[in-house]
Amino acid sequence: MTQIPHAEQLGKARTAADFAAIRALLDTDLNNAIARKQELQQAEDRAIFGEGDLAAARAALDDCNDAIALVERTIAAADKRRIAAARSEARVDIEALGAEIRTKAASLGERWKSVHELIEQLRQELFAADALSRAVTAANGLFDADGAVDLKVDLTTIRRTAMAGPRATTPSRLSRPAIQADRLLLSFLSPGGVLDRRPAIGAPVDGINSKFIPAGERG
């Protein structure tokens, strides 16, 4: 009985990579057996014309054909095992990814909760800052009326000085909604932004660039 080629390795194989490695060995065996078959066929042809033992040549050719058939069956079986192993490994990878995504989803929920809390805190701070700003503005009006301009407070300078701290670097990859939200948040910090009473230097004013006023229009 012809022994199954690479039986020991086949018995130990578990992963798709294991079966792929064995498949490569079996391909080599098959190519060698096919080459051997061609040699035996030539020997059979010579034996027919009296050059050699015809019965022995035909027996050797039959054995070679059996060996080829066995290698081909083994290749087919190894391929089935390799495909099954690959599918199993893919399921394991998907399950691992699912577990990872569930963890990230939980972390995402905590992040959104933190964003909500910070936004609510920001709203409260804005409300308080607005109330103080209105109070200072009203006082400035009184100082103007009484001619005590030296007592006036420059609200813009206060705000710009307070907003002059370091800023986080924007990530290179950011979704469109996140980019829009980041720009909105930065507008609270930037000169000429939503909280600034004066436009940024160089910003257009009523359609005219503040850096340049035609000579004919200068007072």
197 pLDDT more than 70: no
Indicate whether 134 belongs to any domain. Answer: no
Indicate whether 111 belongs to any domain. Answer: no
- The per-residue pLDDT for 34 is 93
- The per-residue pLDDT for 68 is 92
Q: Categorize the per-residue pLDDT at 201 as very low, low, confident or very high, splitting at 50, 70 and 90.
A: low
82: domain range?
7-99
Indicate whether 174 belongs to any domain. Answer: no
Indicate whether 53 belongs to any domain. Answer: yes
Q: Categorize the per-residue pLDDT at 116 as very low, low, confident or very high, splitting at 50, 70 and 90.
A: very high
Q: Categorize the per-residue pLDDT at 205 as very low, low, confident or very high, splitting at 50, 70 and 90.
A: very low
d(CA 148, CA 146): 5
Q: Which residue has the higher pLDDT, 42 or 211?
A: 42
Please report the DSSP string for 50-114 in residue order: TSS-HHHHHHHHHHHHHHHHHHHHHHHHHHHHHHHHHHHHHHHHHHHHHHHHHHHHHHHHHHHHH
Q: Categorize the per-residue pLDDT at 207 as very low, low, confident or very high, splitting at 50, 70 and 90.
A: very low
Q: Average pLDDT for residues 127-142, to the nearest whole number? A: 94
Indicate whether 54 belongs to any domain. Answer: yes
Find the length of the chain.
219
What would the pLDDT profile of 150-185 be if each residue is shown by its tens digit? 999 999 889 888 888 888 998 888 899 999 999 988
The count of domains in the chain is 1
198 pLDDT more than 70: no
Indicate whether 190 belongs to any domain. Answer: no
Indicate whether 159 belongs to any domain. Answer: no
- The per-residue pLDDT for 199 is 52
Taking the CA atoms of 141, 145, 146 and 152 in sequence, report the sign of the dihedral they define.
positive
211 pLDDT more than 90: no
Q: Is the pTM of this model over 0.75?
A: no
Indicate whether 124 belongs to any domain. Answer: no
> Is residue 15 within 8 Å of 89, Cβ to Cβ?
yes
